[in-house]
Structure 1
Amino acid sequence: MNPVLLAVRQGWTRGMIETRQTLTNGQDLFGIMFWPVVMLVILFFMRDASFESSGLMLGALALPSVIGMLVAVNGLVGMGQQLSLDREDGTLLRAKATPNGMVGYLVGKIIQVSGSVIIPSVIILIPGMFLVEGLALDSVGSWLALIWVVVLGLLATLPAGAVFGSMFSNPRSFAIMTFPIMGVVAVSGIFYPITSMPGWLQGVAQVFPVYWLGLGMRSAMLPDEAAAVELTGSWRQLETVGVLGVWAAVGLLIAPVVLRRMARRESGSSVAERRDKAMQRAY
């Protein structure tokens, strides 16, 4: 068998094993369940509110956006955290030392992080369909649209998360990335339509994938008349594909180069030094 294909298959197996381990670990399960439960509580209190005079329920507008936010934030933060953690404990160095090890490592991490995105999204989606009114997930086309938005969203965020993670030598340093990411979330129309925000904030939000993931989710899950509250009064599906596609293409081009350079700088002495610093902080 081709060595690269063998590495991909091993990476797939590793990713599935790590996903199963996550689902049987109490701490990891809490991390997966916490934010979906918080979001469902917020949606519960929003369920009877409507957006201005549109007649559209605020909960119905927020539910697709929240799922889009989970895809974007977990894709960016989850991948970066995993990469910085594996860099600190030497996992990345061991992957580098085996033939095509980085290929298998990346495939495994993509599978694992994708699972950590899809599982909480399902946890929100299924109860949310019964909790809020005004959704339009009643056709095969809607579900297919939902799937392509999730897939394209993962392609747009996972490589970017890998690039961000490669910039930090440990997960504690990477934690500072959550602040600008949550700032982007705050202006991306997740909990309230972006049309109610100042024009300059609307422009900033449209640079990043969080807004477009939310818009794509809304286009898949809401009736056509809900597009009236969006910018330009339409779902802008071509623009959604274009922006997310650009993020995906740039990320897929840059991430392998950045990761190769990062892996070349890894050595046993650098891993030992980071481990000693971590032990000093622990004591």
Structure 2
Amino acid sequence: MNATTMAVRAGLRRGVIELRNTLSSGQDLWNFAFPTVILMATMFFTRGLTVPGTDFSLGARTLPSSFGMGIAFAGMLILAQQLIIDREDGTLLRAKATPNGMLGYLIGKIVLNSVLAVAGLLAQLLIALLFLDGLRIDSPAAWVTLAWVLVLGLVATLPLGAVIGSLIENPRNMGLVMLPTMGLIGLSGIFYPVSVFPGWVQAVAQVFPIYWLGLGMRSALLPDSLAAVEIGGSWRHLETVAVLGAWAAVGLLLAPVVLRRMARRESGSRVAARREKAMQRAM
């Protein structure tokens, strides 16, 4: 068994252990459940509103869009935050000290965040079915579409999260990423059709993966008639694959380079300096 195979197996075991620890932590479970509670409340109170030009529930339209948003959060923001925290407390330095330890570490994080993203999606769907109608959950084609959008979305966003986490050292600087991301969510048609926005807003939204993740999820779970309110009047599956595939390619090319550079710069003195700054902030 070569070193890479051993690192992959170690990473899978690490992911299972971190998942078990997450599920046994009350604080982690609350952090996982709280966004779902907020989203469900939003959809419940908008279930009586309708998508412009249709009689379809705006709450039901928002549900699959929120799935796309959740994938983007898990891939880009949560993974980035985990990298930054583990960098500050020395976890990454310990991983670097073992053969192929960084590979195992990254695989563990990918397993953890992928499983949590899927679990969050299913939990939201099951709860929403109690008060939302019109979703295509009885169609095999819908589940196939949901599956490939989910997988491609994770491949497109997880490497980006690794890049972001490698570039930011201080957890307090996550706001530099969080605020623009929240702005993109507002522009990307997650809570309201982007087709009603000005043309320049539509153009900006289509550059980033959040819009395409929301569109792909809507194409899976909403009736085909709802495609009329989307840009171009269709679900644009080919364009979804092309844009998410392009982001995946960029991330997969950049992530190994940026991660190696970050790992080379890690040292005991840098970890100690970050700990001292963290203690000063806490005092």
Q: How would you bin the TM-score normalised by the shorter chain?
A: over 0.9
- Distance in 2 (CA, whole Å) between partners of 1:268 and 1:65 is 43
Q: Structure 1, residues 208-255: CA drift from partner, whole Å, max 9, x if none?
A: 000000000000001111111111110000000000000011101100
The aligned length equals 283
SS at match of 2:130: helix
Q: Structure 1, residues 140-161: CA drift from partner, whole Å, max 9, x if none?
A: 2211111111111111111001
Alpha-carbon offset, residue 174 of structure 1: 2.2
Structure 1 window deviating more from structure 2 (172-181 vs 17-26): it is 172-181
- Distance in 1 (CA, whole Å) between partners of 2:94 and 2:253 is 24
Question: Could you tell me which amino acid in structure 2 is paired with residue 279 of structure 1?
Answer: M
- Distance in 1 (CA, whole Å) between partners of 2:280 and 2:199 is 48
Structure 1 window deviating more from structure 2 (159-168 vs 47-56): it is 47-56
Which stretches in structure 2 are left out of the alignment for 5+ residues? none
1:43-58 superposed matches below 5 A: 43-58=43-58
Correspondence for 2:91: 91
Correspondence for 1:232: 232
Q: Structure 1, residues 50-107: CA drift from partner, whole Å, max 9, x if none?
A: 1223222211211100111111122110110011111111111111111111110110
Correspondence for 1:280: 280
Question: Could you tell me which amino acid in structure 1 is paired with residue 27 of structure 2?
Answer: Q
CA RMSD of aligned residues (A): 1.0
Alpha-carbon offset, residue 132 of structure 1: 1.2
1:153-168 superposed matches below 5 A: 153-168=153-168
Q: Kindly, what percent of the aligned residue pairs are identical?
A: 58
Correspondence for 1:15: 15
Moved over 6 A (4+): none
Correspondence for 2:171: 171
Correspondence for 1:69: 69
SS at match of 1:132: coil
- Distance in 2 (CA, whole Å) between partners of 1:80 and 1:22 is 17
* TM-score, length of structure 2 as denominator length: 0.98
Question: Could you tell me which amino acid in structure 1 is paired with residue 280 of structure 2?
Answer: Q
* TM-score, length of structure 1 as denominator length: 0.98
SS at match of 1:256: helix
- The answer (yes or no) to whether the contact 1:47–1:133 under 8 Å persists in 2 is no
Correspondence for 1:42: 42
1:196-275 superposed matches below 5 A: 196-275=196-275
Answering whether residue 28 of structure 2 is matched by residue 28 of structure 1, we say: yes
Which stretches in structure 1 are left out of the alignment for 5+ residues? none
Q: Structure 1, residues 251-281: CA drift from partner, whole Å, max 9, x if none?
A: 0110000000010011110000001111111
